[in-house]
Chains A and B, each alone.
Chain A
Amino acid sequence: MTTAVRGAPAAKAAGAPRPGSPRRKRRRPALPYLLLLPALLLELLIHVVPMLVGVVMSFVKLTQYYIRNWSAAPGAGLDNYKFVLDFDTATGKALAHSFGITVEYTVLSVGLCWLFGTSAAVLMQRSFRGRGLLRTLFLVPYALPMYAAVITWSFMFQRDTGLVNSLLGTHSFWLIGDNSFWSLLIVSVWRNWPFAFLIVMAGLQNIPGELYEAASIDGAGWWTQFRAITQPMLRPVNQVLLLVLFLWTFNDFNTPYVLFGKSAPREASLISIHIYQSSFVTWNFGLGSAMSVLLLLFLMVVSAAYLAVASRRRRRASV
């Protein structure tokens, strides 16, 4: 039964040669390339070239004196990297601190988003009155323009006029100091868990109902069915979901930027914010680029390791 489900993706059909088509293809070999050209050019201009330039920038002394004429900036070799990774200096310490905060934020946020999304999706698998309405409500945070939602939260976190202090009966600061980390976490979970919900819900809909029926006939209870059918069938979906959430959350810039403004508190200075601030405050783009490249390398290593472990596990499970 599993193979029947795995074989379903229709996308594969697109790759298979169709009868009668090879002749047409040979006559117009340039057409698909022409159709792709605009997309390719724009991706090159906005993503690929700037990324390569960014790597080059990380090897030059690109300070404020050279911004106007950046091709004249002197080479720096590995100096920029050595400087940002020297954990005895203030710059290195700040980077290490920001990295630690980001890891903590990502683990907590992704974990909670996944937990909320999965619980809601599993509990809404069975139909009940108001399910459609609830589903629509849960999608609103995802549809809302991100800054409108975050600005609303920042009003709720205001010390004197906000809802949070009034609800808790406290009078604390939420947007500076230790609390700012938790404020940031709450806002990010509020905003992102609906995405997890959406994906898990789609994954559940792809599980054939006959599996549950067959299990029921065999006398499997709710918990056994959850463990034996729902969990393993969701595994591939979860693998993609967790990776996407991880990358989004780790790179998150928008939430802290809108919540705190130009200068995020130290306790909530995520890595993207940290690079942005150190680049545009000091106008030392060489250092900023070095940090960005390190961030990219880190994300690539983590993603590759994750995918390797996931595929090995999948292979072992299917043997």
Chain B
Amino acid sequence: MSEPRWVPWARRFVLGFLALFTLLPLYVMLSTSLKPLGDVQGAWQWIPTTLTIQPFLDIWKTIPLAKYFLNSLVISGAATVCSVLIAIFAAYALNRYKFRGRNFFAMTVLSTQMFPGILFLLPLFLIFVSIGNTTGIVLYGSRLGLTLTYLTFSLPFAIWMLAGYFDSIPKELDEAAMVDGNGPVGALIRVVIPAAVPGIVAVSIYSFMTAWGEVLFASVMTDSDTRTLAVGLQEYSTQVQVYWNQVMAASLIVSVPIVVGFLLFQRYLVSGLTAGAVK
């Protein structure tokens, strides 16, 4: 299609503006993390006077970053593994079977995604505390409680994405596996799961991202021993005296693995994320 002459100009202008807007904080994060402390205590400087990796070393002493890191890693990792496993079974049931309550289940699970978090934060807090008081299972302030919470956050979307993915795997494969003497669960494990690996990886990254970046529940449900990166960094960055070069170094450390994972698998993630809206 031939464009009017203003379109290429609009393209340059709009995309240029959006690229600058997107890049600005990324540049600030990267350049500041390589600055000596003196550079971030005065007015903003675009170019560091000297490049140093000292902030990347110091931040581990300024705040207990290693502890936060371990907590985030354990909680997000456990939530991801459980959420993906549970989602695989649920998605298989939704995609391969027609049963009473199927649509009801699908709608309910998806709509929980849209409820304001604040609505169940207060009751969940009270429920966790009273479960702890009556049964001795510590959910409030523990990694277990936060893991359970996070895994339900990514569960609806994980089920939805995987059900869509399973749909692209021909049912004849299951049937062939069942002819070979497998039950439906055997067919799922031996045939469907291996064929769905890209989708499962994409869902895992999505679940991990969700847990890794969550702030609201972490701020209420953790104590000083179970603080996650999100809350630990947030707390430090709102103090009066902040070593910004170190904070930016920490932000970069927690971002790079996630962004790299997302970009490596962006094709699967993007198609999974957008499938629902487009259909």
Contact = CB atoms under 8 A, between A and B. Distances in A.
B172 to A, nearest CB: 10
Contacts of A244: 114, 277
A54 B120 contact: yes
Contacts, number: 299
Interface string B199-234: 000000000010011111001100000000110011
Interface string A177-217: 00000000000001001100011011100100000100110
B52 interface: no
B15 interface: yes
A156 interface: yes
B203 to A, nearest CB: 13
B135 interface: no
Interface string B97-125: 11100100100110010111111111110
A45 B215 CA distance: 20
Nearest to B2: A222
A203 B277 contact: yes
B197 interface: no
Interface string A34-78: 011011101101111111011001000000000100100000000
B148 interface: yes
B122 A288 contact: yes
Contacts of A90: none
Chain B, interface SS category: helix
Interface stretch (A93-101, A103-111, A253-261, A310-318): A253-261
B71 interface: no
Contacts of B114: 244, 247, 299, 303
Interface string B120-145: 11111011001000000000000000
B115 A152 contact: no
B11 interface: yes
A31 interface: yes
B164 A38 contact: no
Chain A, interface SS category: helix
Contacts of B238: 154, 260-262
Contact of B248 (A143, A152, A165, A198): A152
Contacts of B171: 18
Given A39-B86, A147-B215, A50 B43 contact: no
A301 interface: no
Interface string B2-45: 11100100110011001101111110110010000000111110
Contacts of A43: 108-109, 112, 152, 155-156
A190 B21 contact: yes
A292 B119 contact: yes
Given A31-B97, A137-B23, A237-B277, A160 B255 contact: no
Contacts of B124: 46, 50
Interface in B222-279: 229-230, 233-234, 237-238, 244, 247-248, 251-252, 254-255, 258-259, 262-263, 266, 270-271, 273-279
Interface of B: 1-4, 7, 10-11, 14-15, 18-19, 21-26, 28-29, 32, 40-44, 86-87, 89-90, 92-99, 102, 105, 108-109, 112, 114-124, 126-127, 130, 148-149, 151-152, 155-156, 159, 163-164, 167-168, 171, 175, 184-185, 209, 212-216, 219-220, 229-230, 233-234, 237-238, 244, 247-248, 251-252, 254-255, 258-259, 262-263, 266, 270-271, 273-279
Given A47-B120, A143-B259, A303-B114, 12 more contacts: A20-B175, A46-B120, A48-B112, A143-B263, A145-B212, A163-B44, A190-B25, A201-B274, A212-B1, A253-B117, A275-B118, A295-B119
